[in-house]
Amino acid sequence: MSKSWILVKRECLTRVKTKGFLVGTLIFPVFVLLILFLPAVFMRMGTEGVRRIAVIDFTGRLTMPLKSAAAEIRQDATGKSLYTVTAEEADSKTLASVKQTLNRRILDGRLEAFMVLSPDIFDSNRYELYAKNISNFQLNRTLNDLVTGAVSKIRLSESGLNPEFVSRLNRRVWAKTFKVGDAGAKEESGEIAFMISYIMAFMIYMVLIFYGSYVMRGVIEDKSSRVIEVLLSSARPHQIMTGKILGIGTAGLIQMGIWALCLLFVSAYGLTLVKLFAPGAQNLPIPSVSPWTLLAFVAFFLIGFFLYSSIYAAMGSIGNAESEMQNLQWWALAPIMMSFFLIFAIGKNPEGPLAVVTSLIPFFSPILMLYRISVQAVPFYQVILCFALCLVCIVGMVWLSGRIFRIGILMYGKRPTLPEVLKWIKYS
Amino acid sequence: MHAVKDLSFTVEKGKVFGLLGPNGAGKTTTIRMVMQILLPDSGSIEIFGKPLTPSLTDRIGYMPEERGLYKKMKVLEVAAFFGEMKSMRRGQAVQEAKRWLQKLDLAEWTEKKVEELSKGMQQKVQFICTVLHKPELLILDEPFSGLDPVNVNALKDAMLEMKNEGTTIIFSTHQMEQVERLCDAICLIHKGEAVLNGPLSEVKAKFGRGRVHMRYEGDAAFLRNPAFVSGFDDYGKYVEIRPADGIPPQSILKQAIGEVTVTHFEIAEPSLNEIFIHLVGNKGGGQ
């Protein structure tokens, strides 16, 4: 075991000491911080962008309710009004020239849009909207809502109803989302919960591919630089393979640990930090990750890594040069990619039979079971069953890969065919 | 298909043993079996009087023909790492590595990356990695290939020093002159079988004396007369001649004087080179 330890130490240290590792480790926290702070920073920058809207009101009655309703729409960051509505006087004779002046103001950027409210608006249900960008859905929708609100206010008071009372009657209803887990229901936004699960599954996906191909490249490098024979004069093949996998796995674990700490930190202090920058920020999507999910994240990283890195190691031992990696790594890449795409198939029904069966297949478990655990409570027996199956599968794969590895690392020249590799497994 | 078959040899403790043979004869396979990298289908290998076990490899140093070092690591780090792989303690490995780097004129390269070194220097580092742990048995596959004469000498001195300290050395090579000067005993492998095996003097005695080694200038066409010469190995200015049965070397000299300018004439035992070429059957191959 002590020789494996020396190999592990070398493999891990030579990787952790590189600039690439430092950059790769820091890029994720930087990315998270950017995602958190950029919206706040943009909001702050956007404070001066008050949208000016002009109204030519031929009914003479809509301008006031429009103005007061528009003043209610606030900016996220500062809490100031987002729209200012100004009335423009015009009659049928001056309309053309007023429109021209307003057009010019829009082109100059002094005005966002202007609208013409004709007297028959109460029957036609139409008004004219002039803007530089008429496909700005958010603007169109806001203005449509404002005009609709003003028009129906007038309609209601003409019919003798109290508009305030009616609007209270008509108030929309919104869903408050709760996540159901073993610990009881907990309030959480549905979209954010999906995003976090998706991001974690994606991270496992990336990390498995990254570290798997590190293992594979490492084996091919040792083979093509002929170090492998020098190593073989001091250690057994299984020690070399273990050293490679554990060494690179430790480097990966260090990286994942830093990332997990970063996630924990953000979910605990993210909002406080963001508020320092943008005091108006209330409803930012700050992810909240439970420690149990993080634990599952690390556990499934380890399971996935041991499962796939042994395949990658065996594939590496078959190859002679790095250029062969493309072809060989498909044996590991295919199931990893497949499990990632299966998320979309089981996403709608993470408790359904397809989800249960696929997430229990060890090659898919690291991504699918983690996904299921993070979106909802998986029955405890399934988690235990999953770990047991994965463990058995890892032992099997390490044994199988070990047999391929010890022959593969001494074979140079033509790459063996699949039947030849099967023969190695049988006879080695 | 057998890479090695019915091969049997014994190496005496503290001696230098040459493992010879043409390319593809099975030398590397044999060495790999000794190192337990490959397992023999049948037969047995004993080292230090014991059957092979994994822990025995710590008492052996092996330098493969295809050199291999971690190119991105520093020289001292690499040497210390391979020392540790032979169960040395870290501090001891570093200390020994420094001593050897000093000895082989690599002291100023200690903190350089391996890839910055010339090929010859890398080979010396490889040798250091092999002997760092003071092995009782040293196995060197083609130790001198690719080295300049100065480094060949440095390496040879290091080998002899280790021999004097009691290390047994097995080395394989194509360079017969090295074998002739260094080896106490040899084994010549051809097509996976030993065709010659034993102390160098005995091997040579088996092929008798009466060889003529001659240095000359001119056209040595007379050598092609089978009545005088049963075989020869001509280098243009130097030739090794096997006289035909019953022909004394004296009459060869007489013949030669008439045709070429003889600058050196010697009656000697057959060179290992000649024996090698004769046994492997690659006539006219030269060196």
| Percent over 90 (pLDDT), chain A | 16
Q: Closest partner residue to A226 among B67, B82, B86, by Cβ?
A: B67
CA distance A226 to chain B (A): 4
| Percent over 70 (pLDDT), chain B | 98
Identity (one letter) of the amino acid at A65? P
Identity (one letter) of the amino acid at A258? I
Q: Calculate the CA dihedral of residues A381, A384, A385, A386 and round it to 10 degrees.
A: 120
Q: In what order do the strands lie in the sheet with A113-117?
A: A83-87, A51-57, A113-117, A128-131
* Mean predicted confidence (pLDDT) in A214-228: 89
Residue B90 · residue B117 · CB < 8 Å: no
- Per-residue pLDDT band for B137 (boundaries 50, 70, 90) equals very high
- Joined together, the tokens standing for residue B278 give 């004769």
Q: Calculate the CA dihedral of residues A394, A396, A400, A401 and round it to 10 degrees.
A: 10
Query: Counting Cβ atoms within 10 Å, is residue B228 exposed (0-12), middle (13-18) or buried (19+)?
Result: middle
Q: Does A124 touch chain B (CB under 8 A)?
A: no
Q: Closest partner residue to B54 among A227, A230, A236, by Cβ?
A: A236
pLDDT of residue B170: 94
pLDDT of residue B195: 85
Q: Does A3 touch chain B (CB under 8 A)?
A: yes
Full set of structural domains in chain B with CATH: 16-204 (3.40.50.300), 209-268 (no CATH)
| Choice among A43-47, A78-82, A143-147, A347-351 with the minimum mean pLDDT | A43-47
Residue B169 has pLDDT above 90, yes or no: yes
Collapse the DSSP code of B6 into the 3-class scheme (helix H, G, I; strand E, B; otherwise coil) and give the result: coil
Could you tell me which chain B residue has the CA closest to the CA of A17?
Answer: B73
- Joined together, the tokens standing for residue B83 give 């020392």
Residue A303 · residue A390 · CB < 8 Å: yes
Mean residue pLDDT of chain A comes to: 82
The answer to whether the CB atoms of A228 and B68 lie below 8 A apart is yes
Query: What is the pTM for the complete model shown?
Result: 0.71
A83: enclosing H helix or E strand: strand A83-87
Give tens-digit pLDDT for A75-123.
655 666 778 888 888 887 888 888 888 888 888 888 888 999 888 888 8
Q: Which of A40-44, B54-58, B114-118, B274-278 has the highest mean pLDDT?
A: B114-118
pLDDT of residue A197: 81
Tell me the H-state helices in A57-127: 63-71, 95-108, 121-124
CA distance A39 to chain B (A): 43
Q: Closest partner residue to A226 among B61, B66, B85, by Cβ?
A: B66
Tell me the H-state helices in chain B: 27-34, 75-85, 90-103, 119-131, 149-164, 176-182, 200-206, 249-259, 272-280
- Joined together, the tokens standing for residue A268 give 């605990």
pLDDT of residue B89: 92
Residue B63 · residue B127 · CB < 8 Å: yes
- Of B277 and A100, the one with more pLDDT: A100
pLDDT of residue B281: 73
Give tens-digit pLDDT for A242-262.
999 999 989 988 888 888 788
| Percent over 70 (pLDDT), chain A | 87
- Per-residue pLDDT band for A1 (boundaries 50, 70, 90) equals very low
Q: Which of B67, B85, B89, B130 should we substitute to test contact with A (largest number of A Cβ atoms within 10 Å)?
A: B85
Alpha carbons B252 and B222: distance in angstroms, whole number: 9
- Joined together, the tokens standing for residue A131 give 């803007």
Query: Can you give the residue ranges of every domain in chain A?
Result: 2-41+188-427, 50-169
HEC states along A35-67? HHHHHHHHHHHHHHCCEEEEEEECCCCCHHHHH
pLDDT of residue B284: 40
Say which residue the tokens 């690392």 belong to.
Answer: A409
User: Which residues are CB-neighbours of B151 under 8 A, at least 6 positions away?
Assistant: B120, B123, B124
Angle between helices A237-277 and A190-224 (to 10 degrees): 140
Alpha carbons B19 and B186: distance in angstroms, whole number: 6
Alpha carbons B283 and B272: distance in angstroms, whole number: 14
**Cα diameter, chain A:** 101
- CA neighbours closer than 13 Å in the CB half-sphere of residue A348: 2
What is the separation of C-alpha A60 from the centre of its chain, rounded to a whole number of angstroms?
50
Compute the C-alpha angle B186/B187/B188, nearest 5°. 120
pLDDT of residue A29: 81
ipTM of the shown complex: 0.81
- Of B143 and A268, the one with more pLDDT: B143
The answer to whether the CB atoms of A233 and B70 lie below 8 A apart is no
Q: Closest partner residue to A10 among B81, B87, B129, by Cβ?
A: B81
- Of A55 and A139, the one with more pLDDT: A55
Alpha carbons A169 and A163: distance in angstroms, whole number: 10
Say which residue the tokens 């002590």 belong to.
Answer: A2
DSSP state of B158: H
Residue A416 · residue A404 · CB < 8 Å: no
* Mean predicted confidence (pLDDT) in A190-199: 71
Collapse the DSSP code of B196 into the 3-class scheme (helix H, G, I; strand E, B; otherwise coil) and give the result: strand
pLDDT of residue A173: 82
What is the separation of C-alpha A30 from the centre of its chain, rounded to a whole number of angstroms?
15
Q: Which of A148-157, B94-103, B216-225 has the highest mean pLDDT?
A: B94-103
Q: Which of A278-292, A315-329, B158-172, B210-224 has the highest mean pLDDT?
A: B158-172
Identity (one letter) of the amino acid at A64? M
- Which chain B residues are within 8 Å of A6, Cβ to Cβ? 81, 84-85
Give tens-digit pLDDT for B174-190.
788 888 888 999 998 88
The answer to whether the CB atoms of A227 and B70 lie below 8 A apart is yes
- Which chain A residues are within 8 Å of B64, Cβ to Cβ? 226, 229-230, 233
* Mean predicted confidence (pLDDT) in B114-143: 93
- Per-residue pLDDT band for B244 (boundaries 50, 70, 90) equals confident
Using alpha carbons, select from A202, A296, A298, A314 the residue that is nearest to residue A250: A298
Give tens-digit pLDDT for A298-314.
899 889 999 999 999 99
Alpha carbons A216 and A236: distance in angstroms, whole number: 19
**Cα diameter, chain B:** 70
Residue B18 · residue B273 · CB < 8 Å: no
Residue B283 has pLDDT above 50, yes or no: no
DSSP state of B74: B
CA distance A232 to chain B (A): 6
Q: Closest partner residue to A227 among B61, B63, B68, by Cβ?
A: B68
pLDDT of residue A288: 63
Q: Closest partner residue to A229 among B58, B60, B64, by Cβ?
A: B64
- Per-residue pLDDT band for A389 (boundaries 50, 70, 90) equals very high
Residue B81 · residue A10 · CB < 8 Å: yes
The answer to whether the CB atoms of B72 and A14 lie below 8 A apart is yes
* Mean predicted confidence (pLDDT) in A160-184: 74
Taking any CB pair shorter than 8 Å as contact, residues of chain B touching chain A are 32, 35, 37-38, 54, 57-58, 60-64, 66-73, 81-82, 84-87, 126, 129
Residue A75 · residue A49 · CB < 8 Å: no
Give tens-digit pLDDT for B204-235.
888 777 788 899 998 888 888 888 888 888 88
Portion 187-246 of A in contact with B at CB < 8 A? 222, 225-236
Residue A117 · residue A62 · CB < 8 Å: yes
Q: Does A74 touch chain B (CB under 8 A)?
A: no
Q: Which of A18, A229, A407, A410 should we substitute to test contact with B (largest number of B Cβ atoms within 10 Å)?
A: A229
Q: What is the domain class of A50-169 according to CATH?
A: alpha beta
pLDDT of residue A40: 66
Angle between helices A330-346 and A291-318 (to 10 degrees): 150
